[in-house]
Amino acid sequence: MNWAEFKNIFNDCRLEGEKIIIESNLLKTIEFIKTNYHFNMLKEIIASDNGDGTTELTYRLFSPEDEEDLMISINVKDEAESISSIFESAVADEKEIFDLFGVKFIGNSELKRLYMPEGWRGNPLRKDYQENDERLTWNE
């Protein structure tokens, strides 16, 4: 894809290594990339806790036509826009991230605990997760 053209349309983004880092407009950016550059597949969404209350979400897009990868990254606090209207596979990824990181995706109607039981306290992959005895955190 053409980086210069892309940079013209979305001003608040920068290239860092192989990643495009954006500040806002997640949904619009991904929609634009999908329709204009044939990135028809979302391989996965990677979440990583930055340790300062923010979470880095990395969207790995893939173009089956050109066999090309693209990574879009954004830092969010506790809320992010859901891209499940563009990619159905994002429903699964967002569910997982909601369970393990506690990021709420606005627009995803399926958000609930996935691996952890209902009523579990905390989000295990956050760096500030309190590791108590499981009997204490279960269904209290």
Positions touching other proteins (CB under 8 A) are: 40-44, 46-49, 60, 64, 67, 87-89, 91-92, 100, 113-116, 124-125
Q: How far is the CB of 28 from other proteins (least distance, A)?
A: 19
Residues 6+ apart with CB under 8 A from 135: none
The SS3 assignment for 72 reads strand
Which is nearer to other proteins, 75 or 89 (by Cβ)? 89
Q: DSSP secondary-structure letter at 2?
A: -
Q: How far is the CB of 12 from other proteins (least distance, A)?
A: 22
Q: How far is the CB of 95 from other proteins (least distance, A)?
A: 9
CA angle 100, 79, 75 (to 5 degrees): 85
Q: How far is the CB of 104 from other proteins (least distance, A)?
A: 19
φ and ψ at residue 71, rounded to 5 degrees: -120, 130
Which is nearer to other proteins, 26 or 47 (by Cβ)? 47
Distance CA 135, CA 47 (A): 27
Which is nearer to other proteins, 6 or 62 (by Cβ)? 62
Which is nearer to other proteins, 6 or 96 (by Cβ)? 96
The SS3 assignment for 16 reads strand
